[in-house]
Amino acid sequence: MLSLSAILLQAGDDIASFEELKETIQTFATETGELFFQVDIEPPKYDDRPDDWHEQLNLAFESAR
């Protein structure tokens, strides 16, 4: 299972926006081949973070599979 906390621990310093976070999730999903994604923490409050951020992160993961 791929978790948001693991992604942020590994690549968090290189992510400057919510759009970059979604792209990073897609990259991790593709590279790891994980079938499940867990939003176990709240992402940083990027300037472009939408109110429906949880749903958008899940959609980013699903679209990469």
* Position 65 pLDDT exceeds 80: no
CB count, 10 Å around CB of 2?
18
pLDDT by residue (tens digit) across 34-59?
Answer: 999 999 999 999 999 999 999 999 99
Expressed in angstroms, the distance from the first to the final Cα of the chain is: 13
* Residue 6 lies in domain: 2-64
**What is the total count of domains within the chain?**
1
pLDDT by residue (tens digit) across 5-23?
Answer: 999 999 999 999 999 999 9
Q: What is the pTM of this model?
A: 0.94
Per-residue H/E/C for the chain: CEEHHHHHHHHHHHCCCHHHHHHHHHHHHHHHCCCCEECCCCCCCCCCCCCCHHHHHHHHHHHHC
